[in-house]
Structure 1
Amino acid sequence: MRLAILITNPNHHLELTIDVAKLIKAKGHQVTYISLCELRRMASPEDVFKSEGLDYIKFGSLPQNLKPSSGKQTLGKSDSKLRALVRLAFWLLKLKPFIKKSLLGFDKVLLMNDAAFPGDKICTWLKANSIPFYLLQEGIRFPLPNETETKYGANGAEKVMAWGERSAKHFRTIVSPGTEVVVTGSPRFNKFLEDVRSYPVKDANKKVLGVFTNPIDDQGFCSHEAKLELFERFVQRAAPQLKGMNIQLGIKCHPREDVQEYLTIANKYLPTIELPKSTVEAILAVDVGVIMASTVGLELLGAKRKIAQLEIPNYGYVFDYHESADVLKIPVEGDFDLSVLFGAQAEISYFYEHIAIGNAAQRITSVLTE
């Protein structure tokens, strides 16, 4: 079997697939990474590929004034006609020829996104060329304001590999006829839990509340300015409580965000630190986490940290975090009590409803090689 693994992110996409790639290669199959990381202005993880002896093909770097894959306002909002035209032109002139040259001849393709550009275009091309593809869940799933007509998981994969039963139930309601949904777990979370167990225990005397932001503006929930205003409203109301409890405030941003923007705002109300850039290290440096709309909420709960979630204006509390007893809702306006988050550790049953127990890489390997 010849398997292509298509990635657009050198971090979590690699964490999700690298153990699978090694296992499949060890079985005598050919595995090649097709890296489109440069589309996201991130470097392909060539050192990892080379050190693991894995073949790879990477897309060339983009011109500095072009970024068709995400969020620059110069192209308009995510659903703008200008952005759609730029993406179509880029697909036809640059990306489609690369995909055709790179993927023809492969028996199967594994990818992490079948709905967002360029995954939607690539899946259409794969179907037209009768190359079966498999989707491995890359993050928590919830409706996005800028979601296209094609929903994530519904673009005709042979199989959708879900992290846990909660996600599987969601996918079974939207997948195309003929697509099978299987629960495999997540190699990334397997490693995350191993890392959590191996790290030294945090100093219990120094309490830290960490805010873990993500680009909800790119996701279409609000403007950039509104996102920062939402953050500032929270810090303004939280500051007296944190000072009263002698709790340090820390910030961990998504890689596409500017941490200095957040630090400038937060430091108007109380001294604030930047948390480690590593997500695992940042989570283990805090006692409690505050989130907007990202998978880091599951990671915090998996590390037995309780969380608070910010209400997003007009959209409420996205995903189902509110169904966990260890989550505090932070309204756009009004009071909240952060003290309820400190003390006992988070109860982990909710986490395991989302993340199946067991060796996920082995399960995914079995799905792809059967």
Structure 2
Amino acid sequence: MKILFEITNCDSDIAMFEPVIKVLQRKYLQCELYLLSLCEVIGLHTDQHKVASIAQDFLQTYKLPFKVQTRNDGLRGKVSNEMSYLRMLRMKHKVGEHMGKLLESLHPDVIIFSNDRITPHLSLIKAAKNRRIPTLLVQESIRKDDHYKLAKVDRLRLQLIRFLFSVVEGPLLCHGQGGCDRIAAWGETSREYFKMVGVPEEKVVLTGNPRIESITKRNWQREGHELRKRYSIPEDVSIIAFTTNPVDGMGILTGDQLLESVSMVVNAVASLKNVYLFLKPHRFENIERYRRAVAESPAQDRILVEKNIDLYPLLSISDACLIFNSTVALEASVLSVPVAVVNPFQVDMGIDFVENGLTVEITNEKQLISFLQSCRSGEYSVATDVIQKYLAIIDGSADMIADEILKLATWKR
């Protein structure tokens, strides 16, 4: 039995698939596992070190023999998701041709996806359907599509790009609309989402997410205390984690609005005593703009701007976590860290965390100060029933996904 895993992100995809792979190796010894990295096709790099950590489980790994221009490190509305789509369109037919050749030579019994909305995923799904190969989409992220209300400054530019994309590729798809035979969804909120975008209910199975589950099975406190020691932060100092992501590149905020939002957080920290802020930008963001944003603050000696901090040790010692619209909200919540969405411009962040009670929304500095004080005193707690709505299963998700893979692998169209 041949099982092909497709990845486009060496961080989250490998972290999600690795527990599933271990279950397959342990319980189903007749499985032959193959890995296809499409990272270069969407402008990312295949991290050979991370792939090597699981490579022993695969008989063979594949990469396509071409790539698009790598995404810039620094998004100020210049390199958006839509721009990446346009680069991919230039090689759409070439991608489809190579997908077909790969499947003809490998003959997998089932293909596992982490995304299904754009080329190259759609090319591989189409090639699989043409060869009657079953496909499973494993939900990788809580953010399920890119249909945000665009910031005014970038609206016309991004609308034009989206229009050009739709002319060649067809309408922008929502997560789940790519045509996979089954979807392994996180929880009830995801089931409702997939139903809303037209996925038949019988195609969706609730499994939770192995990556999130693995977070809960490890004690991060020791590494968290090492983090305190490394930066000489006393135990009585409250730590706040602010994990940003390129919402300006997505067209949700303008670049200026993003920096004003950061300034609100910096000012709130400056007004509080015994508070230390870790500002962790997304890997696609330009870190220097954040460093400039805090350089003039009287609290700059209590603010660290750094990408290369391990997230989970940081969350383990944090009293609160601040986000724009990141999946980190769920990761922090399962570690019992209260989360707030920073949204002073009250825009549509494209997430449902606030309305479902997973997070609170912060629209001004006074609210933020009150929230941070409540978190520090232990007055604010995370609702476990809300987490369950998002995840459905906190234990055993890898086994459930492995079982779904085996069902599909033996399924005949």
Of 213, 216, 234, 2:247 maps to 216
Does 1:230 find its partner at 2:261? yes
Question: Is residue 389 of structure 2 the alignment partner of residue 353 of structure 1?
Answer: yes
Q: Which residue of 1 aligns with 2:230?
A: none
CA separation of 1:169 and 1:239: change in aligned 2, threshold 3 A: same
Q: Which amino acid aligns with 1:29?
A: C
- Aligned pairs for 1:323-362 (under 5 A) are 323=355, 327-331=359-363, 335-336=367-368, 337=370, 338-344=372-378, 345-355=381-391, 356-362=393-399
Q: Which residue of 2 aligns with 1:42?
A: 45
The alpha-carbon distance between structure 1 residues 361 and 333, as it changes in their structure 2 partners (threshold 3 A), is: same
Looking at secondary structure, tell me which structure has more helix per residue: 2
The 1:227/1:158 distance shift into structure 2, 3 A limit, reads: same
| Inter-partner Cα distance in structure 2 for 1:116 and 1:175 | 17
Aligned 8 A contact 1:313 1:332 in 2: no
Alignment of 1:167-316 (within 5 A): 167-177=190-200, 180-196=203-219, 199=222, 204-236=235-267, 238-241=268-271, 244-269=272-297, 270-271=299-300, 272-274=303-305, 277-311=309-343, 313=345, 315-316=347-348
Q: Which runs of 5+ in 1 are unaligned?
A: none
SS of the aligned residue for 1:293 comes to: coil
What letter matches 1:339 in structure 2? Q
Deviation per residue, 1:54-73 (Å, 9 max, x gap):
5211234636xx24899978
Q: Secondary structure at 1:4's aligned position in 2? A: strand
1:150 counterpart residue number? 173
| Shift of residue 273, structure 1, vs aligned partner | 1.1
Q: Post-superposition shift, 1:115?
A: 0.7
**Counterpart in the other structure of 1:90:** 91
**What TM-score does the superposition give when structure 1 sets the normalisation length?**
0.85
The 2-side partners of 1:143 and 1:296 are apart by 17
Q: Deviations over 1:246-285 (max 9, x none)?
A: 2011111212123332122123222211455222122224
Residue 196 of structure 1: how far off its partner (Å): 3.9
Runs of 5+ in structure 2 lacking a partner?
149-161, 163-170, 226-233, 408-413
Distance 1:90 1:266 in 2: 41
State the Cα distance separating 1:177 from its structure 2 match: 4.3
Offset, 1:299? 0.9
1:209–1:287 contact (8 Å) kept in structure 2: yes
Amino acid at match of 1:279: L
How far has the Cα of 1:208 moved from its partner? 0.9
Deviations 1:176-234 (A, max 9, x none): 44861001111101211112467467575121111100122333313444433332243
Are the equivalent residues in 2 in contact too, given 1:232–1:265 (CA < 8 A)? yes
1:103 paired residue number? 103
Distance 1:211 1:129 in 2: 46
Q: In 1, Cα distance between the equivalents of 2:201 and 2:187?
A: 20
Displacement, 1:31?
1.2
Q: Which residue of 2 aligns with 1:160?
A: 183
| Identity score, percent | 21
TM-align CA RMSD: 3.1
Q: 1:251 to 1:69 in 2, by over 3 A?
A: closer
The secondary structure found in structure 1 opposite 2:304 is: strand
